[in-house]
Amino acid sequence: MIRRQRLAAGVCALLATLTAGLAFPTTAVADETEQAAPKVELVLDVSGSMRARDIDGGSRMAAAKQAFNEVLDATPKEVRLGIRTLGANYRGNDRKEGCKDTAQLYPVGPLDRTEAKTAVATLTPTGWTPIGPALLKAADDLNGGDGTRRIVLISDGEDTCQPLDPCEVAREIAAKGIGLTIDTLGLVPDAKTRDQLSCIADATGGTYTDVRHKEELSDRVGQLVDRAADPVVTPVATEGAAECAKAPSLKSGLYTDREEFGQERWYKVDVKPGQELRASVSVADDRAVNPDYGVLLRAVTAQGREIVRGEAAGNGRTDAISTGLRYPKADSDDDSATAEPVCLQVTNSFSAAAGVKTSPGLPLELTVDVVDGPDKASDVASFGLGRGWWLLGALVLAGFLAGLLWGWLSRWRVAVWRTN
Task: Give the residue extent of every domain in the chain.
Answer: 39-229, 250-372
- Of 3.40.50.880, 1.10.3720.10, 3.50.50.60, 2.60.120.680, which CATH number belongs to 250-372? 2.60.120.680
In 3D, which of 140, 364, 368, 369 has the Cα closest to residue 237?
364
pLDDT on residue 15: 43
Report the amino acid identity of residue 166.
P
How far apart CA 357 and CA 287 sit, in angstroms, is 9
Q: Higher-confidence residue: 379 or 200?
A: 200
pLDDT on residue 317: 55
Nearest-5° angle of CA 285, CA 147, CA 363? 10
- On the question of pLDDT at 97 being above 60, the answer is yes
- On the question of pLDDT at 420 being above 70, the answer is no
Between 131-140, 216-225, 329-338, the lowest mean confidence (pLDDT) is in 329-338
- On the question of pLDDT at 165 being above 80, the answer is yes
Contacts of residue 409, defined as CB under 8 A and 6 or more positions apart, other chains included, come to: 8
In 3D, which of 47, 22, 131 has the Cα closest to residue 402?
22
pLDDT on residue 378: 41
Q: Please state at what angle helix 131-141 crosses helix 166-175, rounded to 10 degrees.
A: 20
Mean pLDDT for the chain overall: 82
pLDDT on residue 390: 60
CA 413 to chain centre: 60
pLDDT on residue 125: 93
Buried b (16+ CB within 10 A) or exposed e, 89-109: bbeeeeeeebbebbebbbebe
In 3D, which of 82, 42, 56, 47 has the Cα closest to residue 156?
47
Q: Are strands 253-259 and 39-45 parallel, antiparallel or unpaired?
A: unpaired
Q: Higher-confidence residue: 163 or 45?
A: 45
Question: In this structure, what DSSP letter does residue 338 have?
Answer: P
CATH fold of 39-229, please?
Answer: Rossmann fold (3.40.50)
Q: What is the pTM of this model?
A: 0.63
Between 122-136, 184-198, 284-298, 361-375, the lowest mean confidence (pLDDT) is in 361-375
pLDDT-derived band at 19, boundaries 50, 70, 90: very low
In DSSP terms, 253 is beta-bridged to 368
